[in-house]
Each structure stands twice: as structure tokens, then as C-alpha cells.
Amino acid sequence: MGRTRFFNIFLCVICCVFTFLCQAQERPNILIIMTDQQTADAMSIAGNKDLKTPAMDKLAKNGVRFTKAYCAQPLCTPSRTAIFSGKMPYETGFVGNAPEKDGQWPDSLLMMGKIFQQGGYQTGYVGKWHLPVPVKKVSQHGFSYIENTNFLDYNDGATPSFCARFIKENAKKPFLLVASFLNPHDICEWARDEALKMDVLEDAPPPEQCPALPANWQIPANEPQIIRQQQQQVGLRTYPSVNYSPEKWRQYRWAYNRLVEKVDQYIDQVLYSLKKYGVEKNTIIIFTADHGDGYAGHSWNQKQVLYEEAAKVPFIISKMDGSIAPHTDDMLVCNGIDIIPTICGLTGVQKPTYLKGLDVSQRIAEPAKQLRDTLVIETDFADNEELLGISGRAVITQNFKYIVYNKGVIKEQLFNLSDDPGEITNLAVLNSQKRKLQELRNYLKKWCKTNGDSFINTINIKGY
């Protein structure tokens, strides 16, 4: 009897272990692919005929491409901090670029890697970091495998190899992997005629062989003066474009497109590794960027402004097993606050209760489900780590966009994005749009009070 009982207990333990392993394997892997400074329209799947992005297109053809996705703030550290904390920059205090330094990140604010590590996932991060937490502080950020993050040494070409190693080593365990690429950020170096960090580009062809200027390439009328004033204040190293001719802008767009194509090739290599190591069908992929780029719209290079080119980003949720019917969705998404709730919803990992972002996977499961009709994003102009004291907010609806800055004579912009997607005509100065203007002012005022955003106290506009 003793042997029989022991044998039964042994079988029970084996069954429990087997069941646990099967359940663990059924949990989907999460791969987050992030580029740097890629505007939403810089993909051929988005209708851009001046470049070819087969890897990004493949993701869209196997999932949902959200056409109205925005970053929390169009600057590196604030945006990345939002993505990996799930909170807006004004909430974390990281509103400008910040150094990688211990003691800055509050222990009470869980990072993405830590959340998934505690949820039973293997965690990996490869590529550009630019977060205000030391890479070595694994106990805080939670990414146990972390490679190619050194700003002086990392390169996009090495990122797929490090990703492949992680995928191979964790193919039989549920994992979260972040593949963070630098490009097309190298457009900053190209713009000031410096050597590129990631790849080498051939010389730009003659302007007439380069992409045409966008319809909104000129500086619009009734633009808040503070935008160009801070551009002059920061100087030519950041904004060499103040001296650009139309011909130079066309070459800029050519170079930017080539950098997007280069990073697309690296993305394809990461996708190949999923297939090679047998995890392609059990991996959910989220593709996005930390922020966009001016791309010559409004004669702007770089980011920070709240125009569409700088603030709007790619956002695709994809799975290669055919389980997601491919389509586009125009629901408003903020990658900064929505990614963590979404991947928690997709995996069953417990989401921190304090997070306010949306689980976008609910929209995929029920396309008619209305999760958000209005979105607020922010900016703080900075000269790298030095804040300039110029803040702004944008209220975005399905059809309208309201922008307000805290300084300048003209502080507000109002655009009908349905009729004016290039944001050329500032409706805020028109008497005929006073009702809509006041409606969005009221929304921002209420939103700031509800969410503890003190920005509303820094502006001095009649009507608030």
C-alpha cells in the first residue's frame, strides 16, 4: 500500500508539473519592436510611395494598424519613460531628457520588465535604452537579459543577433523581449552633416530625384511664436533646418526614408528569429516608435512640437498565426500609457492598479467597443537635458486637435484634422470657431484637474 500511495503521489506531482509547463507554454510571448523618431506615415503600408518597408508591412498584414496613435511626449526620455512605466511624463517628472542615474526612479513605480518578471515571464531588452535608470539596476527595471544599450557602442546591426540569442534561449518559456532600434534617429546627424551612428548612407541624389515636399512644408500662418523662438534659442546644432532651401528639404526626406528602410531590414531579421526558433505563432508583436520627426512638415526637423509628424507614431499589434484579422483602426491610442495595460491584458499578467491607460486588445476582440474618444498628450521644450520652461498640451479627438502652449502672444492652435490633416489653417483665431475652441478648452481644464496636471495653472488665457 505504501508503494502504491507513493507512486500515486509521484504521478500527481508529475501531472501537476506537466500541466504547469503546458500552461506556461500556452501563455503568449510578447515582442515589442521600437524604432526611434519614426513618424507614423513613414511606412509603405501607410501609403508612402517614397520608401519600402516590407517587414513593417508584414506586421500590418498580420494584425491591426492603429492609424491614430500618438506618443505621450515627442522627446526620447519622456516618451520612453512613459512607455516603460505606463504613466505620463508630467506624472513621473521626467519631462526632458535625463541621464542614466541611480536614485531618480521611484521604487513605487513599477517598470515593464519588473511587472512581467513578477508575472512569471523571462525578460529581455536589446538596443537603445535612454531611460533614467541604470542598465545595471536589474532589480529595478526587471530586464534580466539586457544587451547593446551603451549609447557609445550599441548599433542597430547587432540588435537582431542579441535578440536571436534571447529567443533561442527562451523558446520554451514565456518571454517579454524589447527590440529597441536607433534609426531613423540618425537623421539628426545627417541634418548637421555629421557621421551617422548606425549606418552609412550614400550621398543624396539631386533634389529633383528626391521626394516631393509635403503640402504643409511651409511655416503656417498664426503659429505660436514660441515654437520658432525656442528653435532659435536651441540653435543650429539641433535645428540646422532653419537655413534649409526647399531643395535641401527634399534631400532630407530622401535620407530619412533610407534610414527607415535600413531599420526595416533589421526588424525583418528579428521576425526571422521568431520563425527559426519555433515561437512565431505564439508571439504577439507590438510595433511602435518613441516619437516621430518633423519630416519637413511645417519646415521642421526633430521632434518636441505637437504637430502630427512629431507626435504621431506607428502602432501595430500583430500575430503571425492568422488569429487577428488584418485591418486598420482609427481609435485614439497613446503608446506611452497603453502598452503596459495592453500586454498585461494579452498575457494575464497582473496590471498595476494605478495605471490609467487602455488595454487595446479589448478593441481587437470587440472592434465596435468604444474605449476612448479624446486623448491628451504633452510637451516640454528642452535643449537636451536643460528645460526651457515652455510647456504645451494637445487635446485630440476624432476630428479636431487643440494645442495650447504656456507662453507667447498666440498660444493656441485649433485644427480640423478631417479637412486639414496637414495642420495648415489655425482655426483658433477665427470667430466662427469660438464654440469649438471653448469646448476643447473646457475639456483640457477638466482633464487637468481630474488627473492632477498642474499645466492648467501655467497658462494665462481668457476663457480658462
Calculate ∠ Cα 354-357-363, nearest 5°.
135
pLDDT of residue 334 exceeding 90: yes
Confidence (pLDDT) at 155 = 83
pLDDT of residue 186 exceeding 90: yes
Confidence (pLDDT) at 20 = 37
Question: Do 258 and 352 fall within a single domain?
Answer: yes
pLDDT of residue 68 exceeding 80: yes
pLDDT of residue 225 exceeding 90: yes
pLDDT of residue 247 exceeding 90: yes
Number of folded domains that form the chain: 2
Question: Do 230 and 329 fall within a single domain?
Answer: yes
254 in any annotated domain? yes
Give the pLDDT band (50/70/90) at residue 342.
very high
Question: Do 234 and 281 fall within a single domain?
Answer: yes
pLDDT of residue 124 exceeding 60: yes
pLDDT of residue 241 exceeding 70: yes
Question: Do 302 and 431 fall within a single domain?
Answer: no
What is the rounded average pLDDT for all residues in the chain?
93
Out of 98-102, 114-118, 250-254, least confident range: 98-102
Confidence (pLDDT) at 338 = 98
Confidence (pLDDT) at 14 = 39
What's the grid cell of residue 135? Answer: 542598465
Question: Do 201 and 345 fall within a single domain?
Answer: yes
pLDDT of residue 434 exceeding 80: yes
Question: Do 345 and 386 fall within a single domain?
Answer: no
Out of 22-36, 96-110, 316-330, least confident range: 22-36
* Distance between CA atoms of residues 172 and 174, nearest Å: 7
pLDDT of residue 8 exceeding 70: no
Q: Percent of the chain scored above 70 by pLDDT?
A: 94
* Maximum CA extent, the chain: 92
pLDDT of residue 229 exceeding 70: yes
Q: List, for residues 278-306, the tens digit of each pLDDT value.
A: 999 999 999 999 999 999 999 999 999 99
pLDDT of residue 16 exceeding 50: no
Residue 23: what residue type? Answer: Q
1 in any annotated domain? no
433 in any annotated domain? yes
How large is the average pLDDT for residues 35-51? Answer: 98
Question: Do 185 and 101 fall within a single domain?
Answer: yes
426 in any annotated domain? yes
Calculate ∠ Cα 40-429-249, nearest 5°.
40
Q: Percent of the chain scored above 90 by pLDDT?
A: 89
Q: Which of 372, 393, 410 is the last residue of a domain?
A: 372
384 in any annotated domain? yes
Q: Which domain holds residue 436?
A: 376-457
2 in any annotated domain? no
Q: Which of 350, 372, 394 is the last residue of a domain?
A: 372
Question: Do 281 and 156 fall within a single domain?
Answer: yes
Contact (Cβ atoms closer than 8 angstroms) between residue 385 and residue 97: yes
Give the pLDDT band (50/70/90) at residue 18.
very low
8 in any annotated domain? no
CATH code (residue 126): 3.40.720.10
Question: Do 384 and 361 fall within a single domain?
Answer: no
Question: Do 249 and 340 fall within a single domain?
Answer: yes
Name the nearest CA neighbour of 208 among 248, 241, 243, 240: 248
Any bridge partners for residue 180, and if so which? Answer: 34, 127
308 in any annotated domain? yes
Question: Do 267 and 394 fall within a single domain?
Answer: no
CATH code (residue 449): 3.30.1120.10
Question: Do 343 and 358 fall within a single domain?
Answer: yes
Give the pLDDT band (50/70/90) at residue 210.
very high
Q: Which of 372, 406, 435 is the last residue of a domain?
A: 372
Confidence (pLDDT) at 2 = 52
Confidence (pLDDT) at 24 = 43
* Distance between CA atoms of residues 357 and 346, nearest Å: 14
How large is the average pLDDT for residues 355-371? Answer: 96
Q: Which residue has the higher pLDDT, 105 or 26?
A: 105
* Distance between CA atoms of residues 21 and 73, nearest Å: 40
